[in-house]
């Protein structure tokens, strides 16, 4: 299986240095939604600007047709003599954008503020240290747009900088500055536009002039990905202030990551599969059964399994659960190692899925183990992963969670906005304790028994930062990471200054999420040596630096990573040979 190592992802930038201050001719007219006027060659900087302006108008119109899920995670930071800065508190928002109505972020958590008009939004409403701080999630959503109302030569000055590669995509780079008296909410900063259709794929800066009682706006770095032919959509936003002051003179220091996904939710139910069905004969049967009737025990098992499938299917349809993919196979290999070395064979077979949210949580639905993307991101090694999976495997073996209530289809038929408030898979404290005892027994007889010190170190690091990061460790569907004291007690001491002691990884260190179809994969990046302890950053927010590529279809018509095409729907009715994997 794939080695579970520390991944970092570099961004390779190449560009020729150049700079030209441009004149201000009339803007080019948009081309009614087509993917740029690619038939016309671009020979001058002015022509490039006209194309960029026209394409951005099309982008704004196109983006407004989608309703992606948007997640923002924020960490308030403070200076630290040893580590540079460390998080002291955090905030978490999850919602579904309604871009047809403007900048509207409909909360899935049921407790954060609603969005409003673009001109009225500010991501941060901060009244100083003597008051509480309040982040407005819709303020981060507005950062998917550079300027929705006046991106043209009448409002901006454009200055060509250079050509530069973002991953595999060659871009032209411009600095843009609002002209005097151009109005509120204008963007000041730098943009990168790919040099085929001149779509803006990245913009980095701030909205000006400052507005509201805060007296400042926030810096941000916004990225778009090529998700379909000619279609670039917002995917990542990083925002940061290191030493900003509000109107009371209080310092504002924070880092925030915003992710968008679920653009193709309407097809999450596999509507395309219907067209692939063929009927060979009127009397065709799907399966040849040895007996027509089921015993009461078999009927009970079938009902539980049907309920499990109902829940998994609905969570995938609303954009909270990744489709079956390659990461599931990695997790199931570890589960297989635990089962084989403990001489157990659980039926029906245990499967694994990935929850797409960034909070650290795990749970079971029938015989399916679910680990969150956020939890997988920060685990330092395979032994720590095995510990998380052993906890949920113990839950299946000891507490045998029931799925009875989800057997009726209407009980799972909810919308994306309703899902988090409707579903709950949390165990009682007694059930968690029983599962933990079983997990420790499984681990002691597993291939990971001599490496549990690293798992204990992870739990110790999580325990040390739990007071500062309550939003990160607060589950919304399942259980928080159980702090097994036996593992914590046997772990080595935390040594933050020791470079070769990696107790936990930064957020986003493991999993790559495709915002179009919600597929997840492991990041393919080489480990890099750390230069100082400040680069360890356990559980911390870091900037986004995606390796941009252009959309390509594989030979069989499946988009994205060609390995995804090899992942077939599993048939748990087929027996498989089971042996420990390395």
* Interval 258-310: pLDDT, tens: 999 999 987 765 555 555 555 555 555 555 555 678 889 888 888 888 999 99
* Cβ–Cβ < 8 Å for 373, 355: yes
User: What is the C-alpha to C-alpha distance for residues 186 and 148, in angstroms, rounded to an integer?
Assistant: 9
* Interval 341-390: pLDDT, tens: 999 999 889 999 999 999 999 999 999 999 999 999 999 999 999 999 99
Tell me, what's the pLDDT at 308?
Answer: 93
Tell me, what's the pLDDT at 528?
Answer: 87
User: What is the C-alpha to C-alpha distance for residues 229 and 561, in angstroms, rounded to an integer?
Assistant: 15
User: What is the C-alpha to C-alpha distance for residues 269 and 252, in angstroms, rounded to an integer?
Assistant: 43
- C-alpha distances in angstroms, 546 versus 6, 257, 309, 377, 389? 17, 13, 34, 16, 29
* Interval 71-118: pLDDT, tens: 999 999 998 888 888 999 999 999 999 998 888 899 999 754 444 333
Omega into 348 within 30° of 0, i.e. cis?
A: yes
* Cβ–Cβ < 8 Å for 382, 337: no
CB atoms within 10 A of CB 299: 11
Residue 266: Cβ-neighbour burial (10 angstroms; 0-12, 13-18, 19+): exposed
* Cβ–Cβ < 8 Å for 209, 230: no
Q: What is the mean pLDDT of residues 391-399?
A: 94
Residue 33 pLDDT > 60, yes or no? Answer: no
Tell me, what's the pLDDT at 124?
Answer: 54
CA dihedral (326, 327, 329, 334) in degrees, to 10, reads 160
At 250, is the pLDDT very low, low, confident or very high (cuts 50, 70, 90)? low
Q: What is the mean pLDDT of residues 177-200?
A: 93
* Cβ–Cβ < 8 Å for 110, 418: no
User: What is the C-alpha to C-alpha distance for residues 85 and 533, in angstroms, rounded to an integer?
Assistant: 11
Residue 319 token pair: 């954009």
Tell me, what's the pLDDT at 546?
Answer: 95
Beta-bridged to residue 133, according to DSSP, are 126
Tell me, what's the pLDDT at 579?
Answer: 46
DSSP string, 116-176: B-GGG--SEEE--TTS-EEE-HHHHHGGG-S-SS--STTTEEEEEEEEEEETTEEEEEEEE
Q: Which helix (H) or strand (E) holds 377?
A: helix 373-378
Strands 17-21 and 156-166: what pairing? antiparallel
Residue 152 pLDDT > 50, yes or no? Answer: yes
Residue 6 pLDDT > 60, yes or no? Answer: no
Residue 146 token pair: 């550079």
Q: Which residue has the higher pLDDT, 99 or 247?
A: 99
- The DSSP output letter for 564 is G
* Cβ–Cβ < 8 Å for 473, 360: yes
Q: What residues contact 3, with CB distance under 8 A and at least 6 apart?
A: 382
Residue 32 token pair: 């009614």
Omega into 209 within 30° of 0, i.e. cis?
A: yes
At 183, is the pLDDT very low, low, confident or very high (cuts 50, 70, 90)? confident
Tell me, what's the pLDDT at 25?
Answer: 37
Q: What is the mean pLDDT of residues 317-327?
A: 96
Q: What's this model's pTM, rounded to 2 decimal places?
A: 0.84
* Interval 123-144: pLDDT, tens: 554 333 323 346 788 889 999 9
- C-alpha distances in angstroms, 382 versus 135, 519, 529? 36, 22, 20
Q: What is the mean pLDDT of residues 248-252?
A: 64
Q: Which helix (H) or strand (E) holds 238?
A: strand 231-245
Tell me, what's the pLDDT at 547?
Answer: 94
Q: Which residue has the higher pLDDT, 570 or 146?
A: 146
Instruction: Name the nearest CA neighbour of 2 among 309, 328, 378.
Output: 328
3-state secondary structure of 437: helix
- C-alpha distances in angstroms, 253 versus 243, 259, 341, 503? 6, 20, 49, 25
Per the listing, tokens 């069989």 go with 556
Strands 351-355 and 368-372: what pairing? parallel
Residue 424 token pair: 């709950």
* Cβ–Cβ < 8 Å for 498, 467: no
Q: Which of the residue ranges 201-215, 218-232, 391-405 has the most confident prediction, judged by mean pLDDT?
A: 218-232
Q: Which of the residue ranges 6-20, 514-528, 560-574 has the most confident prediction, judged by mean pLDDT?
A: 514-528
């Amino acid at each position: 299986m794939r080695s579970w190592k520390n991944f970092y992802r570099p961004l390779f930038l190449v560009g020729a240095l150049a700079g030209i201050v441009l004149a201000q001719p009339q803007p080019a007219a948009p081309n009614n939604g087509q993917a740029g006027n690619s038939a016309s060659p671009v020979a001058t900087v002015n022509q490039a600007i006209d194309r960029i302006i026209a394409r951005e108008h099309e982008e704004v119109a196109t983006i407004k047709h989608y309703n992606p899920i948007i997640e923002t995670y924020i960490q308030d930071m403070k200076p630290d003599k040893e580590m540079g800065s460390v998080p002291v508190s955090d905030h978490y928002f999850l919602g579904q954008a309604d871009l047809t109505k403007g900048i509207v972020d409909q909360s899935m958590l049921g407790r954060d503020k609603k969005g409003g008009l673009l001109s009225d939004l500010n991501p941060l409403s901060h009244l100083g240290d003597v008051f509480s701080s309040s982040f407005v999630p819709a303020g981060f959503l507005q950062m998917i747009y550079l300027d929705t109302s006046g991106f043209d030569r009448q409002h901006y000055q454009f200055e060509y900088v250079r050509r530069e590669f973002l991953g595999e995509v060659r871009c032209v780079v411009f600095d843009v500055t609002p002209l005097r008296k151009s109005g509120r909410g204008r963007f000041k900063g730098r943009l990168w536009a790919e040099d085929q259709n001149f779509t803006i794929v990245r913009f980095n800066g701030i909205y000006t002039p400052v507005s509201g009682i805060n007296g400042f706006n926030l810096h941000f770095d916004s990225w778009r990905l090529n998700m379909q032919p000619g279609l670039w959509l917002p995917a990542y936003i990083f925002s940061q202030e290191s030493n900003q002051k509000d109107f009371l003179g209080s310092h504002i220091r924070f880092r925030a990551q915003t992710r968008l996904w679920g653009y193709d939710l309407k097809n999450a139910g596999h509507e395309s599969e219907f067209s692939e069905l063929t009927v060979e004969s009127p009397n065709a049967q799907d399966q040849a059964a040895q007996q027509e009737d089921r015993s009461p025990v078999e009927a009970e098992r079938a009902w539980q399994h049907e309920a499990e499938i109902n829940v998994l299917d609905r969570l995938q349809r609303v954009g909270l659960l990744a489709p079956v993919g390659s990461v599931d196979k990695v997790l199931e290999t570890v589960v297989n190692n635990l089962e084989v070395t403990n001489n157990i064979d659980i039926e029906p077979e245990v499967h694994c899925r990935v929850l797409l949210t960034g909070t650290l949580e795990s749970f079971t639905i029938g015989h399916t183990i679910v680990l969150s993307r956020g939890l997988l991101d920060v685990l330092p090694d395979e032994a720590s992963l095995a510990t998380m999976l052993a906890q949920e495997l113990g839950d299946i073996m000891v507490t045998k969670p029931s799925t009875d209530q989800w057997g009726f289809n209407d009980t799972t038929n909810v919308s994306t906005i309703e899902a988090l408030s409707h579903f709950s898979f949390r165990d009682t404290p007694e059930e968690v304790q029983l599962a933990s005892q079983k997990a420790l027994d499984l681990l002691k007889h597993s291939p990971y028994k001599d490496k549990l010190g690293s798992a204990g170190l992870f739990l110790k690091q999580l325990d040390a930062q739990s007071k500062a990061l309550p939003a990160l460790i607060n589950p919304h569907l399942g259980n928080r990471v159980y702090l097994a004291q036996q593992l914590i007690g046997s772990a080595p001491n935390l040594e933050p200054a020791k470079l070769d002691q990696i107790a936990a990884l930064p957020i986003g260190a493991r999993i790559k999420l495709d915002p179009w179809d919600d597929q997840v994969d492991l990041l393919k990046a080489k480990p890099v040596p750390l230069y100082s302890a400040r680069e360890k950053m356990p559980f911390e927010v870091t900037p986004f630096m995606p390796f941009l590529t252009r959309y390509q279809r594989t030979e069989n018509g499946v988009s994205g990573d060609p390995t995804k095409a090899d992942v077939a729907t599993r048939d748990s009715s087929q027996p498989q040979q089971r042996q420990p994997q390395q």
